[in-house]
Structure 1
């Protein structure tokens, strides 16, 4: 069985994410021709074509998509193994604020990986709205927070680590989206998803009523499952029994962003921030 070289896998991931050999070459500090040779040898070793080569970009083949998932996991495991033995020992506590959708979707895996790399560090997670968590951060109660930001927002505070479309969601086979006025489930005032959704409905001239309000995604999901309302949801959160609702009567909401805002830089914060960034890169 041939062994996969981590440097080659790192090159493969870079090309996949950049979409060009030239862009990837700048990331890994090698020439495009050297990268091309690496990929050619990798394809020969595996007996599979990994990229569809087009004039100005490359796209992954189905086999390439499979290898991309394996590559990211292998590189992540390699990083964890190296950190376990040679990374400086870290001790202490880090306070992290997040919304409940990120807390239930992303953080469990992030915290598990972080604990394996830094078992002496305690991560104190606080779930709340972006506004609440930013106030806690400014008060010195938290070290970093993940906050929701509208896609068109300017002068975003912090570092954008994720971008995703908001889509209309409802229960499979339900009829709430066909009612007039449109019943919607949203969070309370101040929520970016709520503001983006209401603005989209107002611009389209769509009659609506707020049928259900809850700060937590689980509450909005309950309203959809009961067919009381439809709701704006991140595409990655739409899972059975929910489905994305596509209708000419429903306006496009747009994309939202997640920004990582930090109180300062130190070894603990830097280590956790790196794990958070990596988790969102793996979603793409």
Structure 2
């Protein structure tokens, strides 16, 4: 068995991500004919057709989709392996802050990837609301922060530079086993008064003529989620924070669509270089990026 050519696998990934042989050729710095030859040899190697005609273009076959899954994992593993030896000797500490809404969803992948590529580095994680993280960034208490905002919020923006790296739907949620959303006024479980999502939710209900009362207040998403799952209140959460047992509410239940939630990255501005923070920031972008998919 001859091993697979990782350069060919890298080109396959580029074709799948760019959507064409021409754009993939630019990505891998080859001519289009060289890319076509690579794919022909890869098909010969696995003994299956990877591409099929689709109108004027081509699409991946079922076998091509299966191979693409392996190709992505192999290319990613090689990249991480090389990064370990290229930059793995970096030692030191990097401080990361994020709201607890994203701990379960994103932190395992972020920390796992960083630990594999930089085993000698120490990561300090602080979980606090966005406003508190922004202050820590300004004071230099942390190096990086994953923060959240809701488009349409009346809160003044622009105090700090935020690089948007992901967008998600902000959703009304209730318990799938209860009907608390039918109560008048609607009982709510939300964050503290400074929370953007709290303001957006209340403003949306007021515009729709719905009365509400805030029953539970916490900056901890687990506590808010517990109130929702117990059937005690309605809340708002980004799509990635939905948990089993929650039901999404919409206009048919009297809950208007909410503005999109933006997830961004903040950096502490310093004259001192911080290569560990640079590397971790890059890996966070890779883990959370969905902007390219949204553009398609």
Q: TM-score, normalised by structure 1?
A: 0.83
- Offset from partner CA, 1:160-184 (integer Å, 9 cap, x none): 2211111222222321222222222
Give the drift of 1:276: 1.2
Give the drift of 1:91: 0.9
CA 1:241–1:9 in 2, change beyond 3 Å: closer, same or farther? Answer: farther
Give the drift of 1:29: 3.8
Partner of 1:75: 75
Q: Once structures 1 and 2 are overlaid, which stretch shifts more, 201-210 or 152-161?
A: 152-161
Aligned counterparts of 2:127 and 2:167: Cα–Cα separation in 1? 20
Aligned counterparts of 2:263 and 2:126: Cα–Cα separation in 1? 16
Match of 1:271 among 279, 283, 286: 279
Give the drift of 1:106: 1.0
Larger radius of gyration: 2
Partner of 2:229: 225
Number of equivalenced pairs: 283
- 2:128 is the alignment partner of 1:124: no
- 2:218 is the alignment partner of 1:210: no
Aligned counterparts of 2:259 and 2:65: Cα–Cα separation in 1? 27
- Offset from partner CA, 1:59-112 (integer Å, 9 cap, x none): 777766655554443322112211222335111111111110222221122112
- 2:150 is the alignment partner of 1:150: yes
Q: Specify every segment of 5 or more residues in structure 2 that has no aligned partner in the other structure, as ranges.
A: none
CA 1:193–1:7 in 2, change beyond 3 Å: closer, same or farther? Answer: farther
Query: Contact 1:93–1:122 at 8 Å: present in 2 too?
Result: yes
CA 1:274–1:223 in 2, change beyond 3 Å: closer, same or farther? Answer: same
- Offset from partner CA, 1:12-40 (integer Å, 9 cap, x none): 44444444555545444445665566556
Q: Once structures 1 and 2 are overlaid, which stretch shifts more, 77-86 or 3-12?
A: 3-12
CA 1:172–1:87 in 2, change beyond 3 Å: closer, same or farther? Answer: same
Aligned counterparts of 1:51 and 1:206: Cα–Cα separation in 2? 53
- Offset from partner CA, 1:143-176 (integer Å, 9 cap, x none): 1111112246876723222111112222223212
Q: Once structures 1 and 2 are overlaid, which stretch shifts more, 28-37 or 116-125?
A: 28-37
CA 1:180–1:48 in 2, change beyond 3 Å: closer, same or farther? Answer: farther
Partner of 1:256: 261
Q: Once structures 1 and 2 are overlaid, which stretch shifts more, 233-242 or 212-221?
A: 233-242
Alignment of 1:16-165 (within 5 A): 16-21=16-21, 23-30=23-30, 35=35, 38=38, 42=42, 45=46, 47=48, 53=54, 69-87=69-87, 89-151=89-151, 157-165=161-169
Match of 2:190 among 186, 193, 205: 186
Give the drift of 1:272: 1.1
Query: Contact 2:164–2:262 at 8 Å: present in 1 too?
Result: yes
Aligned counterparts of 2:13 and 2:20: Cα–Cα separation in 1? 11
CA 1:65–1:182 in 2, change beyond 3 Å: closer, same or farther? Answer: farther
What do you get for the CA RMSD once the two structures are aligned?
3.2
Aligned counterparts of 1:253 and 1:52: Cα–Cα separation in 2? 41
Aligned counterparts of 2:108 and 2:196: Cα–Cα separation in 1? 24
Aligned counterparts of 1:133 and 1:54: Cα–Cα separation in 2? 50
- Offset from partner CA, 1:196-226 (integer Å, 9 cap, x none): 3223323333332222221111111101111
